[in-house]
Amino acid sequence: MENKIVIQNFGPVKEAQINLNKNFQIFIGAQASGKSTICKIVYFVQKIRDYTLDYLMDAEQFTQNHKNEYFNNYMKHLTKQFMGCFGKTKHMQKFNISYMFAGKHINIFLNRDGYVRFSFDVKLKEELLGLIYEASVMFLNNFNTKGLLDNITAVGVMKRHLNERLFLLFENDDEIIYIPAGRSLLATMSEQLQDVSTDEMDLTMQEFIKLIKITKNKFGTKIPEMITDYVKTVKGQINNAAVDQAYEFIKKILKADYISENDGEKIYFDEYHWVKLMYGSSGQQEVLWILMLAFATILEKKKSFIIIEEPEAHLFPIAQKDVMNLIVCIRGLKPSP
């Protein structure tokens, strides 16, 4: 079944149809022609699944509101996330975004007052209402009768349960990852990143920074040692050929090894010579998190839907080709010679 997005009159995009079933899609166009807009829409509509989980796991939504308000508050939650991605909407022209997946349909549009609204097909709305009811029962009943530790356990179990239900509902269990442009700026701020306030940033950048903070903890050693530790401590087999090939591409592109140490992120040229990431080349800074996230995905054999803005930025053409080959490895395909 074809999963697709149809966009009409959103920002610079007059009309576009995106097929989500393809292994790869590359958007090429002039400046301000809508490439980033399309990428953000593709990201946002698929993240509705995760934003729904966030709402379902917010106890205050159920303990501090009447049950008649639950669904309206869920709509407000999605609206807030949309505005986090795209800003306020009252100045926008009338637009329509249709997300069709697994025989279901979500429509995103502006009402007469210029506010974004969401509509669901009947079956999808019924299933979402069922999940909202399920979450409300847990928070209203279980928390009144159990102690703190029991509540923590109940929340963990319920989150896994609701997550699995949402995977089935959306027929999508991929991790949705957005890698924005302007990555070198974050690299130059790498030592202050933990303290950076993201409140004024758009939602895609906020979520990217959160992902970096989580992922860089995995790279406390050079990649060969990281692979050895992973194999010894984590269940399951790795794809040795794919992992080795990915590391080979990373060494060719980065010309070094990346390590996140207690005193900062570093680029190691050999055992004794290194620079801090903030002093690396613009190409190294811009490409680093494409490489590291790609490698983590391949090593852990994650199911991922990855959107990358400007993967070629600040790179020599040979390195650009190697980045494309590394991305091909994520999908388990054979890179070009």
φ, ψ of residue 38 in degrees (nearest 5): -60, -45
Residue 143's pLDDT is what?
A: 58
pLDDT in tens, 83-117: 999 999 999 999 999 999 999 999 999 998 999 99
> CB–CB of 227/257 below 8 Å?
no
pLDDT in tens, 250-308: 999 999 999 999 998 999 999 899 999 999 999 999 999 999 999 999 999 999 999 99
Three-class SS state of 30: coil
> CB–CB of 237/245 below 8 Å?
no
φ, ψ of residue 290 in degrees (nearest 5): -65, -45
> CB–CB of 238/299 below 8 Å?
yes
In the predicted model, is pLDDT for residue 194 greater than 80?
no
Q: Identify the top-confidence range among 115-119, 151-155, 239-243.
A: 115-119
Local structure of residue 248 (DSSP, 8 states): H
> CB–CB of 94/109 below 8 Å?
yes
Predicted TM-score (pTM) of this structure: 0.92
pLDDT in tens, 9-42: 999 999 999 999 988 899 998 988 999 999 999 9
Cα–Cα nearest to 258, from 187, 321, 181, 175: 187
